[in-house]
Amino acid sequence: MRVLVVGGGGREHALCWALHADDPSTTLFAAPGNPGTAGLATNLAVAATDLDGLVAAARDHRIDLVVVGPEAPLAAGLVDRLRTTGHAAFGPTAAAARIESSKSFAKDVMASAGVPTAASRSFTEIGPALAHIERHAEPLVVKASGLAAGKGAVVCATRGEAAAVARDMLESGILGEAGREIVVETFLEGEELSVLALTDGERILILPGAQDHKRLGEGDTGPNTGGMGAYCPVSLATPALLERVRREVLVPTLAELARRGCRYSGVLYAGLMIGADGTPWVLEFNCRFGDPETQVLLPVLPHGSTAHLAAIAAGTWRPESTVLTANRAAVTTVLAARGYPDRPEKGAVIDIPILPPDVLLFHAGTTRDAGGALRVAGGRVLNVTALAPTVAAAAAASRAACERITFDGKTWRGDIARREIDRSRDRAGAA
């Protein structure tokens, strides 16, 4: 098999790692990849958004399977293009990817399918948006409908704050095209959970539950980021809850997409708020693997799990089970650059010591200079994934490794998975 992984972050390094671990005879390519993928794959100098370049690369390198990491090429129709040129590709078509690229579309699909989600209305004009906000209960949430790299959702304590956010997006255009339409929705309370499922549009294979940490600072403080860490499995994601997610969220959403003529295949990521009564409310859908959730999910899946991606892309998928269970726990900590997320400082030299075998280092924003030194090249620099029998042990091992990796400006959270660890301590105390 000759496989091309599209993208160049930690998620794509993890995908290359898993594809290689499952079948070392696979010939891997990454576009554009990073210094981490370079150890497993041939990096091609093609940007993840260069659709012509990617289609040409698939042809020139006789690629059997393209695995698309990021949302932008999916939303732009990379999978549609590859299918017309006869290349198997894992990921949804542009029409199906609207489940992420248009929150307004996603809300409409959920309303038709009866999927639990916050009550909402969509607006393209500031007048009606402000009038609606004026009558809305507090707190409330204002979201850009389009792709905004994790910066599109703002939880507002007051109507005044929500009105200002709506003006910023619709009038000042601070998020550009992504904020030309906004969604105003009711605030939901509960515990957040990410549930990812592999699907061909009909069959569903649910991956272990994961939780990410969006805020920059420890104790979930500071600005929102692309994600500062993640862990799995999550004790909240019991088999019974995952079954509810299948029945109440995944099945009806996929059926509604198929009914609308845009059958979904790939990985469907449901960002959920689990209410006190266990209802899985959908906050958002993503049309791809999460970053950094992938860096904890792939390492804990049963050996050989990446074969599902090839079978889904080929249209020959007949999974033998409905859930994949984690065979151990994983915690990933993101090492970010000073100034992330707004103005990450680039250029610092990175020093990586020899790490224990149960620690996987996935590169995200790194580059190798002409002299071969590894340097900071992006906001999120490295993902330090530790594997252990328990989440607590994995968190401790990830932290210990993070201490030992050095670069000027290293910014990270030492409390990834803290809530899960506290929960399991409470349970042990109660028992």
Q: Which residues bind ligand AMP (CB under 6 A)?
A: 118, 141, 143, 152-153, 155, 185, 187-188, 192, 214, 271, 283-284
What tokens appear for 258 in the block? 């198929």
Q: Name the nearest CA neighbour of 410 among 312, 340, 318, 310.
A: 340
Strand ranges inside 145-237, DSSP E: 153-156, 182-186, 191-199, 204-206, 211-212, 215-217, 221-224, 229-232
The DSSP letter of residue 366 is E
Q: Are 188 and 273 in contact (CB under 8 A)?
A: yes
Give me the least distance between CB of 286 and ligand AMP, in Å please.
8
C-beta of 151 vs 167, nearer to ligand AMP: 151
Q: Minimum CB separation from ligand AMP for residue 382, in Å?
A: 23
| 120/37 Cα distance (integer angstroms) | 41
- Rounded to a whole number of angstroms, the minimum distance from the CB of residue 273 to ligand AMP is 6
Report, in Å, the least distance between residue 216 CB and ligand AMP: 14
Considering beta carbons, is residue 266 or 271 the nearer one to ligand AMP? 271
**Residue nearest to ligand AMP as judged by C-beta position:** 153
Q: Classify residue 261 as exposed, middle or buried by CB count within 10 Å of its CB (0-12, 13-18, 19+).
A: exposed
* Contact indicator for 295, 230 with CB cutoff of 8 Å: yes
Select 144 or 297, whichever has its Cβ closest to ligand AMP: 144
Other Cβ atoms within 10 Å of 84 Cβ, number: 10
| Residue corresponding to tokens 């002409």 | 370
Of the two residues 8 and 271, which places its CB atom closer to ligand AMP in the complex?
A: 271
Contact status, residue 7 vs residue 360, Cβ threshold 8 Å: no
Closer to ligand AMP by Cβ: residue 120 or 295: 120
Q: Residue 8 gets which letter from DSSP?
A: -
**Closer of 137 and 354 to ligand AMP (Cβ):** 137
Q: How far is the CB of 120 from ligand AMP (least distance, A)?
A: 8
Token pair for 357: 């075998």
Tell me the pairing of strands 204-206 and 191-199.
antiparallel
Comparing CB distances to ligand AMP, the nearer of 121 and 214 is 214
Give the shortest CB-180-to-ligand AMP separation in angstroms.
Answer: 17
Supply the minimum distance, in Å, between the C-beta of residue 403 and ligand AMP: 28
